[in-house]
Amino acid sequence: MTVVSRPYRDERDRLLVHGLLRQANGPGPAPSIIFLGDLEWWLVNEDDPEALRTSRLWFEDDQLIAFSWPNGRLLDLTSHPEHRELEAAILDDWIAGQTDQDVTLLVNVLESDASRVDILKARGFVANERGYNVWSQPLAEAPPALPLADGYAVRSFAGEQEIESRVAAHRSAFHPSQMTVEKHRRAMASPIYRQDLDLVAVAPDGEIASYALVWFDEVNRKGLFEPVGTHADHRRRGLSRCVIQEGLCRLHALGATMAYVNSNADDVPSNGLYAACGFEIVDGDARWERRLGEASTTPEA
């Protein structure tokens, strides 16, 4: 079989990448480095809505078997489980194509991914400390409902009529934030966005106080919470936990068997929140780097 590659073209390719990410995540409990919802959320946050045009697709016959997205000095990539060896060639092409030799290249790797770790080590990359904790929770049973603070209610986001409140809550939760109304509209336009999984806790005055956006992979029956946040004026009322719990209940009702969420490894409040919600750390996401111009190990032929 012959492997060929070409640049990303259009929205039809985005759907092909979705299919590959579903295959890479598979039916088992272990996550992939790029979950379906990760890609969509990254695209929401890009200043350039056409940012995927820098990516490349790799095919065997007509089947997409790998996807690479060079974004500045960072390379994100994923491959079909039966074609992991292709990642070495993708990395070699990326490294060889660098015009600036005074740069540090970056690749994200799950700590459990021995295959990618070996490929990077052979090319002179070294690991930084863990950047993210990867949390998961099985959904064999629906989680119990939690009591809400007086006057608050949890429900689905109502859409355009309260989008400014939704964005204000996000900007407060992640201050300083680059989130805009237009970017949240971009999230709503995603082919996998579900308004019934865009959950909010509403304050007594009608403003959005907390939220959790859930991305559902219906093929693998897995859900990802990305992002979760609470407005600074409404913290310490258990609202984030309530919207997460509602998200878990809705995922369970949809037939999901596993839920995931990521947190900064050193974010004590977030780590405490996800543990309290029943999640457990199952992996870590480390960033590997290589300074060009420095000596590197030559891969064996």
Question: Is the fold of 3-107 the same as that of 141-256?
Answer: yes
94 touches 68 (CB < 8 A)? yes
Structure confidence by residue, pLDDT tens digits, 49-74? 899 999 999 999 999 999 999 988 99
Q: Is the pLDDT of residue 187 over 50?
A: yes
Judge if pTM exceeds 0.85: yes
Among the ranges given (203-212, 279-288, 291-300), the one the predictor scored with the smallest mean pLDDT: 291-300
Q: How confident is the model at residue 295 (pLDDT cuts 50, 70, 90)?
A: low
Structure confidence by residue, pLDDT tens digits, 221-273? 999 999 999 999 999 999 999 999 999 999 999 999 999 999 999 999 999 99
Contacts 24+ apart (CB under 8 A), 165-171: 165/206, 165/207, 165/208, 166/200, 166/208, 166/211, 168/207, 168/208, 168/231, 169/200, 169/207, 169/208, 169/209, 169/210, 169/211, 169/229, 169/230, 169/231, 170/211, 170/227, 170/229
- φ/ψ (deg, to 5) at 202: -105, 135
- CB neighbours of 100 closer than 8 A, spacing ≥ 6? 292
- CB neighbours of 147 closer than 8 A, spacing ≥ 6? none
Would you state the pLDDT for residue 301? 39
Specify the CATH class of 3-107 in words: alpha beta
Structure confidence by residue, pLDDT tens digits, 69-85? 998 899 999 999 999 99
- φ/ψ (deg, to 5) at 251: -60, -45
Q: Which residue from 84, 86, 141, 144 is spatially nearest to 114, judged by alpha carbons?
A: 84
Topology at the third CATH level for domain 141-256: Aminopeptidase (3.40.630)
Would you state the pLDDT for residue 299? 55
Place of tokens 């490294």: 95
Q: Determine the longest span between alpha carbons in the chain, in angstroms.
A: 66
| CA-only gyration radius of the chain, Å | 20
- Structural domain boundaries in the chain: 3-107, 141-256
Query: Strands 63-71, 222-230: parallel, antiparallel or unpaired by DSSP?
Result: unpaired
